[in-house]
Amino acid sequence: MGRVSDAKEKLLAVAFDLIHESSYGTVSVDTICKRAQVNKGSFYYFFKSKADLVVAAYEENWRLKESNYERIFSNLNPPLKRLELWCEYIRETQKQREKKYGHVCGCPYASVGGELATQDKKVRASAQNLVTRHVKYLVGTIGDAMLGGDAAAGDAQVKAELVHAFVIGLLLRAKIYNDLKILRHLDEGVFALVGAKLQ
């Protein structure tokens, strides 16, 4: 049973690596199996399709980083500090991925979700769900900032969605230009949209 479990873990790890290295459209089941050193039969034992593997890889990636989000967005941190820590986390994560893959990766959820928006309902729904999870953390933080008088009054949900969209856009721009220096304006843009003063 250990070998079966190991095969699934290898497939998940390789799927996310390949998504970062190229684009979803260029990643075939054959490529994934070859890279993971797993036969095709094992692939289809765990996943009905490439889309199912991507959805599972998304969930695994979220599981691995959720503790970081819980730490960053903890109520023990003042609201604006949470936003600062989040921006630092994004930059550091992108820096680590650039070092690993040799180029700026951007957001895999947005990249694949955007690529398959009209092609695969499973992947689109999964990407939407992950966006909703991210936004939920921002809604609570921005709401707390407004209650404490640290941010301009407004609709926390709307502000959170705008902040998230801005961050995704900036990550896409950094990916297109293959330049992490673009993320130096991350905090400035987030705080401007929230209506708060940068610390």
Would you state the pLDDT for residue 121? 85
User: Model's pTM, two decimal places?
Assistant: 0.89
User: Buried (b) or exposed (e) across 70-103, using 16+ Cβ within 10 A?
Assistant: eebbeeebebbebbbbbbeebbeebeebbeeeee
**CA 123 to CA 125: how far, in whole Å?**
5
Alpha helices in 24-107 (DSSP H): 29-36, 40-46, 50-72, 79-101
AA letter at 122: K
Provide the token pair at 100: 């690993």
| 3-state SS assignment for residue 170 | helix
| Distance of alpha carbon 190 from the chain centroid | 17
Contact status, residue 36 vs residue 7, Cβ threshold 8 Å: yes
- Angle (nearest 5°) at CA 20 between 56 and 126: 30
List of domains in the chain: 51-194 (1.10.357.10)
- Angle (nearest 5°) at CA 95 between 54 and 27: 25
Contact status, residue 180 vs residue 97, Cβ threshold 8 Å: no
Would you state the pLDDT for residue 5? 65
In the chain (199 residues long), the average pLDDT of successive 10-residue segments reads 70 85 76 92 93 89 93 98 98 95 87 70 87 96 98 97 97 95 96 93
AA letter at 153: A
Please name the residue that has the structure tokens 């990916």: 175
Would you state the pLDDT for residue 23? 64
